[in-house]
């Protein structure tokens, strides 16, 4: 590098070097956002320990709190619910921003921790470049890829509500149960109805849209870490679809998370092209790729 006097007691980069310097691009910005998301995921694992509610219940069939633990398996880190249902356990990037060149003993460590279930990995690819390729080569199945979409909460577009539609932030158990009723039917899954009022906004929250008093759509923001929150469970009851309610509850969830919990960056992964268009209408744009992988180890061979 050539230096020239700045005339103020310091030095500046010679302009002849400027053409060779790296100029930040949109791809650089997107990679930085992906790393920020992955870092927030990693920090958030510790908050989830011991607070997940089991859905299969104990010996008496009554749901209860099931302890979870963090398992370090470089280059990954996992949250594991021993003995719990498979969806409560997952692994993410353990070193956000670092390229992955070697899996080391990670798959063996994860297989033991996840047993008897297969290892589930949910990775933001740009935050752990090289990981997906190495995992597939090691026998993991790439089950699903989806865009990772983000929005600066200060720029979220809030649509005008159709006549007869009211969107609220769920505060009571009854409000939350209304949201659960919509999500359970929309995703064809059984979710336990909440018995408690809403948690503190920093721990997550839900918005519900009512059409003439009937619950019609819902969306949830998850626990906030470093100003980041994921928007999930965006659902609209079938008979109320194509009325803009998905857009309305998504925007409302982002705005509530910003106003009540200090979220500055919201993110989500759409379930398809139609959902993608809904989120674009709110202001979300794709910045990275999420990869869901499943690894099934032959533990009997190692016994």
Global pTM reads: 0.83
Q: Other C-beta atoms within 10 Å of 67: how many?
A: 14
pLDDT at 193 exceeding the cut of 60: yes
Model confidence pLDDT, tens digit, residues 1-34:
333 333 333 333 333 333 344 444 566 799 999 9
Q: What does the pLDDT read at residue 25?
A: 56
Question: Average pLDDT, whole number, for the chain?
Answer: 86
Residues 269/148, Cβ–Cβ less than 8 Å: yes
Q: What does the pLDDT read at residue 53?
A: 40
The vertex-55 CA angle with 54 and 60, nearest 5°, equals: 85
Q: Which 8-state DSSP code applies to residue 273?
A: H
Q: What percent of the chain has pLDDT over 90?
A: 70
Q: What does the pLDDT read at residue 12?
A: 34
pLDDT at 139 exceeding the cut of 60: yes
Average pLDDT over residues 207-215: 96
pLDDT at 215 exceeding the cut of 90: yes
Lowest mean pLDDT of 146-150, 223-227, 276-280, name the range: 276-280
Q: Which 8-state DSSP code applies to residue 286?
A: E
pLDDT at 296 exceeding the cut of 70: yes
Q: d(Cα 194, Cα 215) in Å, to the nearest integer? A: 16
Residues 241/253, Cβ–Cβ less than 8 Å: no
Residues 106/75, Cβ–Cβ less than 8 Å: yes
Q: Other C-beta atoms within 10 Å of 84: how many?
A: 18
Closest CA to 237 of 214, 216, 207: 216
Model confidence pLDDT, tens digit, residues 44-63:
987 777 444 433 344 333 34
pLDDT at 235 exceeding the cut of 50: yes
Model confidence pLDDT, tens digit, residues 249-288:
999 999 999 999 999 999 999 988 888 899 999 999 999 9
How many angstroms separate the Cα of 169 from the Cα of each of 99, 206, 221, 235, 267?
Answer: 40, 6, 11, 15, 19
- What is the strand order of the sheet 285-295 is part of? 69-73, 76-80, 90-93, 119-124, 285-295, 141-152, 265-268, 228-236, 214-222, 204-211, 165-169
């Amino acid at each position: 590098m050539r230096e020239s006097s700045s005339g103020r007691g310091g030095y500046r980069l010679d302009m002849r070097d400027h053409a060779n310097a790296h100029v930040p691009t949109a791809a650089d910005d997107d990679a930085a956002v992906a790393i920020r998301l992955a870092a927030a995921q990693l920090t958030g694992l510790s908050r989830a320990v011991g607070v997940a509610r089991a859905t299969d219940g104990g010996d008496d069939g009554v749901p209860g709190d099931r302890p979870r633990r963090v398992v370090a398996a470089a280059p990954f880190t996992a949250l594991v619910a021993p003995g719990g249902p498979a969806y409560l356990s997952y692994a993410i990037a353990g070193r956000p921003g670092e390229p992955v060149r070697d899996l080391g003993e990670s798959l063996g460590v994860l297989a033991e921790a996840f047993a008897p279930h297969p290892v589930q990995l949910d990775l933001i690819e740009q935050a752990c470049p090289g990981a997906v390729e190495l995992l597939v080569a090691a026998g993991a199945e790439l089950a699903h890829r989806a865009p990772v979409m983000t929005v600066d909460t200060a720029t979220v577009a809030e649509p005008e509500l159709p006549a007869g539609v009211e969107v609220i932030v769920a505060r009571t158990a009854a409000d939350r149960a209304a949201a659960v009723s919509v999500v359970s039917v929309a995703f064809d899954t059984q979710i336990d109805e909440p018995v408690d009022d809403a948690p503190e906004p920093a721990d997550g929250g839900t918005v519900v849209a009512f059409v003439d008093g009937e619950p019609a759509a819902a969306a949830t923001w998850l626990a906030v870490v470093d100003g980041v929150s994921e928007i999930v469970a965006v659902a609209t009851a079938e008979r109320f679809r194509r009325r803009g309610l998905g857009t309305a509850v998504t925007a409302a969830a982002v705005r509530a998370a910003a106003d009540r919990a200090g979220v500055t960056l919201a993110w989500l992964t759409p379930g398809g092209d139609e959902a993608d268009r809904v989120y674009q209408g709110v202001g979300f744009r794709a910045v990275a790729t999420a990869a869901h992988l499943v690894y099934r180890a032959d533990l009997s061979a190692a016994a």
